[in-house]
Amino acid sequence: MKDAKLVLKANPDHQSIVSLSKEIAIGGQEIVIIGGPCAVESLTQMETVARELKSAPIQALRGGVYKPRTSPYAFQGAGLEGLEILASVSKRYDLPVVTEVMAISQIKEISAYADMLQVGSRNMQNFDLLKALGQAGKPILLKRGLAATIEEFVMAAEYIMSHGNPNVVLCERGIRSFDSYTRNVLDLGAVVALKQLTHLPVIVDPSHAAGRRELIADLSRAAIACGADGLIVESHPEPEKSVSDAQQALSIEAMTQLVRSLKPVAEAVGRKTYGVQCPQFAIV
Ligand code: PEP
Ligand code: MN
């Protein structure tokens, strides 16, 4: 870690803010909630998610179109068609979108449609990809590797930054351990450590950490309580029918309830939540 020149805090107040759009930024006083399905499946699915969750409110949309699946026979993502769906829904509902980039060859195409590029857990140490993303000109959501140490995670961010991109957000998404009850183990200790060590925003993905929908709301509140700058949570209009990660997908109702429950938690630790952006969705 002593090698890290760009990622570590220069002083205790050093905090970077990464903008997703004119209105939405990660790392400031407001926590940012990114919601949406594991994978983009159809226009109807993404329309429903965006329309319903805009008023929750979430601040950005997720949805994979290039999916890193364990089996080569599983759905690999909707590709370009998925990107077009993401972009049209993003525009209509004024929600920035984040989607995963798996290869250098996809960077240009995805950058034309998405507001933030996600590096998945399996690619955290794909150093050539990280170097190329240094030149992407888009903010990067860097997920922690399945079994990466905090130092390896920090150094992966250093790769992107040292190649020219200062807009990196770290994402703790659970690490492998011996217990198969949960999919992974959510490492909130790492969130606290990364907030102390680095100036980069840190968000938490409780969905891939837990792998079980009944654990997600409490883990989300715990993440905000320990200082996370936001959350990325999988949510689907028909969770059981989700083509991937169905067991961890939250219904729209559960997601809305979760988002609303975060306000007092955020305020208890000196943070705020975003209000609804569109006046017609205003809630009191
Ligand atoms: C995802 O967010 O869709 C995903 C595949 O997550 P991870 O890379 O953390 O497994
Ligand atoms: Mn998923």
β-pair type (140-143, 168-172): parallel
The answer as to CATH 3.40.50.1820 being correct for domain 18-273 is no
The phi and psi torsions of 192 (rounded to 5 degrees) equal -65, -45
Amino acid 284: pLDDT? 40
Amino acid 248: pLDDT? 98
Any idea where the domains of the chain sit in the sequence? Answer: 18-273
Query: Residue 53: is its pLDDT beyond 80?
Result: yes
Q: Would you place residue 276 in the very low, low, confident or very high pLDDT band (cuts 50, 70, 90)?
A: confident
Query: Residue 193: is its pLDDT beyond 50?
Result: yes
Ligand 1 test: best mutation among 119, 205, 234, 245, most atoms within 8 Å of CB? 205
Give me ligand 1 centre to Cα 40, in Å.
13
Query: Residue 253: is its pLDDT beyond 70?
Result: yes
Nearest Cα residue to 21 out of 204, 121, 152, 167: 167
pTM: 0.97
CB-based pocket (< 6 A), ligand 1: 38, 64, 68, 100, 120-121, 143, 173, 205, 208
The residues, ordered by sequence, that sit 6+ positions from 11 with a Cβ below 8 Å of its Cβ are none
> What is the average per-residue pLDDT within 47-60?
98
Ligand number nearest CA of 232 is 1
Give me ligand 1 centre to Cα 174, in Å.
10
pLDDT above 70 covers a percentage of the chain that reads 97
Per the CB < 8 A criterion, the answer to whether 77 and 32 are in contact is: no
Amino acid 212: pLDDT? 98
pLDDT digits (tens, 9 = 90+) for 13-23: 999 999 999 99
Give me ligand 2 centre to Cα 144, in Å.
14
State the number of CA atoms in the 13 A half-sphere of 60 facing the CB: 28
pLDDT digits (tens, 9 = 90+) for 173-184: 999 999 999 999
Per the CB < 8 A criterion, the answer to whether 39 and 249 are in contact is: no
Amino acid 279: pLDDT? 46
Average pLDDT, the chain: 96
pLDDT digits (tens, 9 = 90+) for 107-130: 999 999 999 999 999 999 999 999
Query: Residue 240: is its pLDDT beyond 70?
Result: yes
Amino acid 280: pLDDT? 52
